[in-house]
Amino acid sequence: MQFDRYPQRRFSRRQLMQYAGLSGMGLFLGSCGASNSSSTSIFKPLHQQTTNVRALFEPLNQGIEELIFQAKNPAPEYPLSAIEPNSLLINSFDTTPAIDLNSFKLVIDGAVNNPLQLNMNDVRALPLISMVIRHVCVEGWAAIVQWGGVRLYDLAKLVQPKAGARYVYFESADNYYESWDIASALHPQTILAYQKNGNDIPVENGAPLRLASPIKLGYKQSKWVTRVTFTNELRQRRGYWVDEGYEWFAGL
């Protein structure tokens, strides 16, 4: 896998509008498939039908979103004066795991030529990337936050993903799990962060390491990351909330 260039594609405005329309159709169908499973049995056949339709259109929807994503410019970044220190909410359903920093290891493995285990000193020795970006939650709120950490791109250069690697899985100390397409994971604005607003990240925000990126919705940005795995195929368990019906790509 080559790391000297980030792939770019160019599309006309008309093409992007056409793709966006198709993507919207896929999202609509996806939302139908995520209807409440507690519905009465008389609606079960319809629910099964919409689930089948979702299975048909979801790959199309994801492919269209990937095309649109690759055509976009980098996401906006903001000055330090724009930081909203009290706007990053903590989800009430999170159970903060107990992590011993003295024994903590970040495992990077899977379809790579050079699997690694890094402690926090190893991680901090890599180039620090700092950015002030907007964190967007699917629940309808947003916050401008400064994150600092190491780019996934720089970690990938160390482990050298194999040519067939197309996805990246993230496992967390609280048993949360997520998966990204490799283009999004290697985007220059995707980092494993250990700083928030110039200080060490508080444990409730995901210390010692959490995903941070302006190109994905908040539920894709795993906290307490302990393992990064490159894979050739998507696993059956694609993401904690994705498996409950949320969209997989979740791009901004």
Residue type, 78: Y
Distance CA 78, CA 71 (A): 21
- The whole-angstrom separation of Cα 155 and Cα 35 is 39
Say if residue 138 is in the same domain as residue 58.
no
Domain co-membership, 98 together with 215? yes
Distance CA 164, CA 171 (A): 21
Q: Is the pTM of this model over 0.75?
A: no
Q: How confident is the model at residue 236 (pLDDT cuts 50, 70, 90)?
A: confident
Same domain, 55 and 161: no
The least confident of 22-36, 155-169, 213-227 is 22-36
CA distance 33 to 48: 8
One domain for residues 157 and 47: no
Contact predicate 220/178, CB 8 Å? yes
pLDDT in tens, 120-175: 999 999 999 999 999 999 988 999 999 999 999 999 999 999 999 999 999 999 99
- The phi, psi pair for 150, rounded to 5°, reads -110, 140
Residue 3 lies in a domain: no
Do 173 and 232 lie in a common domain?
yes
Angle at 185 between CA 9 and CA 171, to 5 degrees: 155
Look up the domain containing 57 and give its range.
Answer: 13-71
My answer on whether 189 and 132 are in the same domain is yes
CA 74, CA 189: separation in Å to the nearest integer? 8
Phi, psi of 152 (to 5 degrees): -60, -30
pLDDT value, residue 66: 55
- Domain finish residue from 71, 105, 137: 71
Identify whether residues 49 and 105 lie together within a single domain: no
Residue 96 lies in a domain: yes
Q: Is residue 67 domain-shared with residue 142, that is, in the same domain?
A: no
Whether the pLDDT of residue 97 is over 60: the answer is yes
Q: Which residues pair with 106 in a beta bridge?
A: 118
Q: How far apart are CA 132 and CA 79, in angstroms?
A: 7
Same domain? For 175 and 226 the reply is yes
- C-alpha to C-alpha distance for 240 and 218, rounded to whole angstroms: 13
Q: Are 124 and 106 in contact (CB under 8 A)?
A: no
Question: Has residue 22 been placed in a domain?
Answer: yes
- Is residue 142 packed enough to be buried (19+ CB in 10 Å), middle (13-18) or exposed (0-12)? middle
How many domains does the chain fold into?
A: 2
CA–CA separation, 228 and 244 (whole Å): 22
Share of the chain above pLDDT 90, in %: 60
Give DSSP secondary structure letters for 198-210.
TEEPPGGGTTT-E
Q: Are residues 105 and 226 in the same domain?
A: yes
Whose tokens are 């991680």? That residue is 123
Q: How far is CA 126 from the centre of its chain?
A: 21
What pLDDT was estimated at residue 9? 36
- Residue 26: inside a domain: yes
Give the residue among 65, 58, 113, 38 at the shortest CA–CA distance from 252: 65
Buried residues in 174-197 as b, exposed as e (16+ CB within 10 A): bebbbbbbbbbbbbebbbbbbbbb
